[in-house]
Amino acid sequence: METFLVVAGLIFLLVVFMYNTLISKKNQVDTIYAGLDAVLKKRHDLLPNLVASVQEYMVHESITLEKITELRIKAMTHSLDSRETIALEKQLSSMLGNLMVAVENYPTLKANENFLHLQATLSEVEEQISAARRAYNQSVNDYNNAIEMFPTNFMAGLMHLERKEVFSIPKQERSSVDVKNLFQK
Amino acid sequence: MKPRLASLLDYYYESMYPTLQALEEKRLTILSSLKKAALMLVFLGTVLFFVLSRTNVFTPLHAFLLSAMSGFLIFMFIYRHERAGYDSLFKDLVIEKMIHFLDPSLIYTKMDSIDEREYERSELFSEAYDRFSGKDLVCGEIEGVKVRFCDLHVEKKVRTKNGKEEWSDIFSGLFFVADFNKTFHAKVVVLPDVAERSLGILGTWLQGVNPSRGELIKLDHVAFEKLFVVYGDDQIESRYILSHALMERIVAFHQKIDKPLYLSFVDSKLFLALHYTKPLFEPILTRSLLEFESIKAYFELLTMITNIVTEFKLNEKLWSKR
């Protein structure tokens, strides 16, 4: 009887430990996602000023500018889940990358004081987004490992926990949104 | 443009060499005095040994130990007394001149150091200490970045198995503080990864449950992760500070220097500690000052320290720090 109680106690402790581990990893993902969301909002706040200061110079880039405005409005007004946000921000990063490459063709814009200030701010925000994205991906990776690895995968199944998507950016796009490097050329 | 080794060679022969000749004479005089003192003490020690061993109070072994210890202590007293003035003069004529040659705006104070509050603020070494000493403080701006560095020695008292008290090093070496190029509020501490290297996964687990250091930050740079363990109080801001580019530079710096490296980022400042087993700017009494090679080592060390600013690109400030 005593042996049975000891074994039952150990199993109970193991279940509690696994449950708490999974919950803490899930909460970690949510906390870091909130941080990521906050820096993404910083970028959204910056975009109207950026578009306003470049549109009179960049006459041939109106489609890109319209797309950026449209994506920003979508990100700000629609309540998107993490998967949709990640997909939308990927598009936004890609469009911003294209825009910054196009800036090279407008020397008067590159000399504009207001634009220089905006590009420096954007460069810093991009650094913060990059940091938040890395932190988010690490937490998602830890969480995904926990729900797929033995023995926590059984507990994760019972708790109906699902894999989360990492915030990845294709390599060529990642380099094109590296605004800091772009403007240091 | 930073002075190079070739221009130091010119400076050495044109500006330093004449004054170093006088210092070299002093060095030779000290060496000769020390040799004489050593001979005299060996003679006196031998006499003392014979006198003590002939009495019934001491055994020959005790007599030998007593006379050898007395001789050694007297020699150390003479040695310290003789080289005290020489060390000070060496720092005025060699180290200070070399620092000004590297960057005339830097201020050198041979007897001063970074204060204890700054050391504690860095949070690099969490152990309690009993003795704090430092010297050779350099302050100023390099490429527009405020820096301070010195040779630091922090010790604690430990009791050996025999019950004796001994001084044990917590840190000995270069302690460097500079303004960081980003504004941040979190604290990040980067330490050599001893546990993971020696214990593997168990080491990583132990690092994760270390409550005194804060949250373990796992970083996405394989080489950096192998060398260092990182603790911080904010997952996002820690990665904002430790960007991929900075981790790359830290790894390259570590490989070049090949010494235990400790880094922390607190209150928008970078704290860096490099562990050295010997004092950084003390003269070597047995080496001639009239040979450029003996000066070159100090120059290379000082260049390495002042280059930290450019190696870590601390001068490339982000918008918020402009």
Q: Where are the domains of chain A?
A: 1-162
Q: Does the N-terminal peptide bond of residue B104 adopt cis geometry, omega within 30 degrees of 0?
A: no
- The C-alpha of A163 sits at a distance from chain B's nearest C-alpha, in angstroms, of 20
pLDDT per residue of chain B (322 residues) written in tens, 0 to 9: 466 778 888 888 888 888 888 899 999 999 999 999 999 999 999 998 888 888 878 888 888 899 899 999 999 999 888 888 888 889 999 999 999 999 999 999 999 999 999 999 999 999 999 999 999 999 999 999 999 999 999 999 998 888 888 999 999 999 999 999 999 999 999 999 887 666 666 666 676 667 678 889 999 999 999 999 999 999 999 999 999 999 999 999 999 999 999 999 999 999 999 999 989 999 988 888 888 888 899 999 999 999 999 999 998 876 566 5
Q: Do the Cβ atoms of A131 and B182 come within 8 Å?
A: no
State whether B286 and B299 are in the same domain. yes
The last residue of a domain, from among B102, B135, B159: B102
State whether B21 and B132 are in the same domain. no
**What helix, strand, coil percent values describe chain B, rounded to 5?**
50, 20, 25
State whether B34 and B166 are in the same domain. no
Q: Which residues of A touch B218 (CB under 8 A)?
A: 138, 142
**HSE-CB of B233 using CA atoms within 13 angstroms:** 12
B222 to each of B82, B228, B237, B247, B310, how far by Cα in Å?
51, 10, 20, 10, 24
State whether B93 and B112 are in the same domain. no
Residue B258 lies in a domain: yes
Query: How does pLDDT run across A55-112, given as a tens digit for each residue?
Result: 888 877 888 898 999 999 998 877 888 888 888 988 898 888 888 888 888 888 888 8
- The C-alpha of B218 sits at a distance from chain A's nearest C-alpha, in angstroms, of 7
The last residue of a domain, from among B102, B127, B145: B102
ipTM of the complex: 0.82
Q: Do the Cβ atoms of B220 and A137 come within 8 Å?
A: yes
Is residue B24 packed enough to be buried (19+ CB in 10 Å), middle (13-18) or exposed (0-12)?
middle
Residue B319 lies in a domain: no
State whether B189 and B71 are in the same domain. no
The last residue of a domain, from among B102, B128, B156: B102
- Among B282, B302, B259, B316, which Cα is nearest to B4's? B302
- Among A147, A165, A136, which Cα is nearest to A23's? A147
Q: Which domain holds residue B201?
A: 106-312
For chains A and B, CB pairs below 8 A equal 49
State whether B177 and B274 are in the same domain. yes
H-type helices in chain B, by residue range? 5-11, 17-54, 60-90, 96-102, 116-122, 194-199, 201-208, 222-227, 235-241, 244-257, 292-306, 308-311
pLDDT number for residue B244:
92
Residue B148 lies in a domain: yes
Q: Do the Cβ atoms of A120 and B322 come within 8 Å?
A: yes
Residue B322 lies in a domain: no
Q: Do the Cβ atoms of B220 and A39 come within 8 Å?
A: no
* Three-state secondary structure of chain A: CHHHHHHHHHHHHHHHHHHHHHHHHHHHHHHHHHHHHHHHHHHHHHHHHHHHHHHCCCHHHHHHHHHHHHHHHHHHHCCCCHHHHHHHHHHHHHHHHHHHHHHCCCHHHHCCHHHHHHHHHHHHHHHHHHHHHHHHHHHHHHHHHHHHCCCHHHHHHHCCCCCCCCCCCCHHHHHHCCHHHHHCC
Number of domains making up chain B: 2
B128 to each of B155, B170, B188, how far by Cα in Å?
9, 9, 20
State whether B238 and B304 are in the same domain. yes
A41-47, long-range: CB < 8 A, 24+ apart: A42/A125, A42/A128, A43/A92, A43/A122, A43/A125, A43/A126, A43/A129, A44/A72, A44/A75, A44/A76, A46/A118, A46/A121, A46/A122, A46/A125, A47/A72
State whether B83 and B232 are in the same domain. no
Q: Strand order in B269-275's β-sheet?
A: B107-109, B131-142, B145-159, B165-179, B269-275, B261-266, B188-192, B228-232, B215-217
Q: What are phi and psi of B260, to 5 degrees?
A: -55, 125
- The C-alpha of B263 sits at a distance from chain A's nearest C-alpha, in angstroms, of 19
State whether B78 and B117 are in the same domain. no
State whether B93 and B225 are in the same domain. no
Q: Which residues of A touch B219 (CB under 8 A)?
A: 134, 138
Residue B321 lies in a domain: no
State whether B90 and B164 are in the same domain. no
Q: What is the CATH number of domain A1-162?
A: 1.20.1440.20
Q: What pTM did the predictor assign?
A: 0.85
Q: What is the largest CA-CA distance in chain B?
A: 82
State whether B53 and B156 are in the same domain. no
